[in-house]
Structures are given as C-alpha cells and as structure tokens.
Amino acid sequence: MTLRLGDIAPDFTAETTEGPIHFHEYLGDGWGVLFSHPADYTPVCTTELGAVAKLRDEFNKRNTKVIALSVDGLESHKDWIGDINETQNTMVNFPLIADEDFKVSNLYDMIHPNSSEKATVRSVFVIGPDKKIKLIFTYPASTGRNFDELLRVIDSLQLTAYHSVATPANWKHGEDVVVVPSIKTEDIPAKFPKGHKVIKPYLRTTPQPNID
C-alpha cells in the first residue's frame, strides 16, 4: 500500500510494550508520530529510541504522541528497552509495536524489498488531529534520524494548521514566517498585528504569530 500526504493514516490494532492499542484511539484528538526500526538490538535504533525518550517533554508541548515499531516480538522489545535505558541514560516512555506478522509494516509500506525483505526501513509518519498524513520521511537503515528536525517540522505543520503561515528554508523557531498565498495582502494587518513585510506580491513575511 502506497501512502501519500493527505491520505488518512490507516487504523490498526496492535500489541505494544504498553499493552494493546487501537491506533486512532491512541492518537485521540492530538498529533502523532509513528516511526519504524529495522530490528531490535541494533546500534542506530538504540540511540534513536533513547533520543526520542529524552524529547518526551518537547513532544508533549506539541500535543504529539509518539509510537515506534519493529518486526520483532514483544518480549524482545521489553528486554531491549533495558539496554536502551542503560546505554542512553534515559527511560523509554512510549510504546513499541510488536509487528511480527508485518501487518502494520505492510499497511504503511515500511518493507522495501530492494533494501530488505524482512526488516523495516526507517520510516516516519506525522499524523494530524484529522488523522491525515502530514509528513513522510524514509531513511536507510544505516542513517540515524535527526529528531530535532522532526520537532522543527511539527512546529511548521502546526503553524500552518493554526495560523495560516508557512516556514521558509532553514527556518527555526522564533524566526519570521511566510504568509500563505490565500491571504490577501490588504487583509494581513488584521490577521497579523505584529507587522509584515512585502518582499514580492507573492512573498510576504511576518513575525512568528504564536510567540510573544
């Protein structure tokens, strides 16, 4: 199954390290991140899960739940978490899906046969409150993901969803943002009272609206 931006994220039930979940119910009315791992007891995955655990407060600030997946079993996951906590100096604080039957992996096209027929690639899906897919990342098994970049993207997606702005290249939290084209220039002052700049008729910027 090939998924694209704007598609409804497939719903599923699964066993996890925190008990059975029904995915859409787990997400509730917030945002979600589903990310996969090639296998348990692998070095890059160990660092990634530790990094996500340390960022739990940052995801909470963004009303975002995280959930991980690999095709190993539940007992393997639970044992591996001990290694993650020990080596990464943290406590894994989110569920890991045990996808031994590849049900979720196939729903989300996480198995790429030309890479591996038995292990998932490093997929990331960001899902909005409407249960639609807002972002898809795919990394090779050898490359650890940048979760600071994932938080930056979630910030950008939420700015667009709630404030009708987009973010320019290399944008960081606190920098000016771009007013979306659907807003007329004459309507900008009422919507963005912090001020704005008209660089070109199609390129208007304003200070980030959700910070003082």
Q: Give the catalytic positions in this structure.
A: 45
DSSP character at residue 138: E
Annotate 51-86 with DSSP letters as a single string. Answer: HHHHTHHHHHHTTEEEEEEESS-HHHHHHHHHHHHH
Using an 8 Å Cβ cutoff, are 188 and 204 in contact? yes
> Cα separations (Å) of 96 from 8, 74, 166?
22, 8, 32
Using an 8 Å Cβ cutoff, are 101 and 148 in contact? no
> Cα separations (Å) of 157 from 44, 84, 146, 150?
27, 30, 17, 10
CA distance 57 to 88: 17
> Cα separations (Å) of 38 from 48, 50, 93?
12, 16, 20
Residue whose C-alpha is closest to residue 41's, from 86, 95, 107 = 86
